Amino acid sequence: MSQFKRLLLIADPVAESSSALQRAAALAEASGAALHMVVFGGNATTPWRLGERYLVQLRTDFVQQQKARLEVEAERLRAKGIEVTTEAVWNDAPLADILQRVRDLHADLLIKDSNHEPALRRVFVTPLDWQLLRECPVPMHLVSFAEHPLPRRIVAAVDLSQPEELIGGMNERIVAAAGALARQCKAELHLLHAHERSAAYMAYAVAPLGWSDEMQEDLERELRDSFDELAEQGGIPQKQRHIVIGSPVRAIADFVAHERMDVVVMGTLSHKGLEKILGSTSEQTLYRIPSSIMTIRPTTAV
């Protein structure tokens, strides 16, 4: 059974064949999903203050040129049997428009480019990216680099620092989504948890304690049991299960780079009105990961 029926791509207005477009096309071809490609532009994208007459012409030219450019890509994909529609929109603040299209199209996945700068070993995440990560009601795939248009190696990054019931089953949802994507792509699925040794116990401590070796071993065992339970639910073999000790930000980024993962699946959590990536660990992780991410939202705010 196909995981995807409808994909929504926010196309790059500059790149001719961006990583996100390549990924969207590969997923659409593999799943048989329909693909809607839309590009946004607006006054904020121009460095000049123009009169109304010139703005009207600029808007008209942008829509016509971008629509024509997308149609060239669309025709190439239609020749492969992919159902593709295109749209160009002039809008300074496209967040509301994007979210409305997600709802109107009943999109299963939102796909968008993010800019990776190899020389600086970081990803540049725009304000729009962060807004979408906070508010998009469906899984979102930020593609910074696509060595393989159709992913071959996928890792589900889970956070076991909080009991599952306190985070709305987020880890289970991450594993399920990563597994469905892996099956769709015939990709290898891995499970990853990274923690600093002291942080692993914070969810269980009710007061400052001096941890004995025996207590630490018991808690490590409990963490491992929870981790293995998630892996069993996802049908992930032992050799593809990874618990890493160290700073989660660095450990996850290093693992992804060393193992050449194509996609990292992680969760967004809402806590007291604030959105966070991977629980408390890491907006920073998003900047450091050298591949692409897919984010999963909880069913309810936690």
Tell me: do 67 and 186 sit in the same domain.
Answer: no
Tell me: do 140 and 195 sit in the same domain.
Answer: no
Name every residue whose Cβ is closer than 8 Å to that of residue 105 and which is 6 or more positions away in sequence.
6, 8, 36
| Joined tokens for residue 56 | 């009207």
pLDDT tens digits, one per residue of 217-257: 777 888 899 999 999 999 999 999 999 988 888 888 899 99
> Exposed/middle/buried for 29, CB within 10 Å: 0-12, 13-18, 19+?
middle
DSSP letters, 186-216, are T-EEEEEEEE-TTGGGTTT-SS-----HHHH
Would you say 151 and 53 are in contact if contact means Cβ atoms under 8 Å apart? no
Tell me: do 216 and 289 sit in the same domain.
Answer: yes
Q: Alpha-carbon distance 71 to 77, whole Å?
A: 10
Last residue of a domain, one of 123, 144, 165: 144
Looking at residue 58, its pLDDT comes to: 85
Tell me: do 96 and 165 sit in the same domain.
Answer: no
Looking at residue 53, its pLDDT comes to: 74
Percent of the chain with pLDDT over 90: 52
Tell me: do 3 and 106 sit in the same domain.
Answer: yes
pLDDT tens digits, one per residue of 264-293: 999 875 544 434 444 445 456 666 776 799
Tell me: do 140 and 173 sit in the same domain.
Answer: no
Tell me: do 137 and 90 sit in the same domain.
Answer: yes
**Rama region for 5: left / alpha / beta (φ>0; ψ in -120 to 50; rest):** alpha
Quick one: DSSP state of residue 112?
A: E
**Residue 67 domain boundaries:** 1-144
**Of 231, 236, 182, whose CA–CA distance to 3 is shortest?**
182
Measured from the Cβ of residue 300, the count of other Cβ atoms closer than 10 Å reads: 8
Domain count, the chain: 2
The mean per-residue pLDDT over the stretch 155-176 comes to 83
| Joined tokens for residue 117 | 């700068």
Tell me: do 243 and 220 sit in the same domain.
Answer: yes
Which of 189-193, 214-218, 246-250 has the highest mean predicted lDDT (pLDDT)? 189-193
More confident call, 202 vs 151: 151
- CATH label of the domain that carries residue 107: 3.40.50.12370
Tell me: do 126 and 170 sit in the same domain.
Answer: no
Relative to beta strand 263-271, strand 292-296 is parallel
More confident call, 281 vs 129: 129
Last residue of a domain, one of 105, 120, 144: 144
Nearest 5°: phi and psi at 90? -95, 115
Tell me: do 227 and 204 sit in the same domain.
Answer: yes
- CATH label of the domain that carries residue 225: 3.40.50.620
Tell me: do 135 and 255 sit in the same domain.
Answer: no
Last residue of a domain, one of 116, 144, 172: 144
**Of 44, 18, 23, 17, whose CA–CA distance to 35 is shortest?**
23
Buried b vs exposed e over 235-272: b needs ≥16 C-beta within 10 Å? ebeeebbbbeeebbbebbbbbbeeeebbbbbbbbbeee
| Joined tokens for residue 174 | 């991450």
pLDDT tens digits, one per residue of 84-117: 999 999 998 899 999 999 999 999 999 999 865 4
Quick one: DSSP state of residue 261?
A: -
Tell me: do 46 and 178 sit in the same domain.
Answer: no
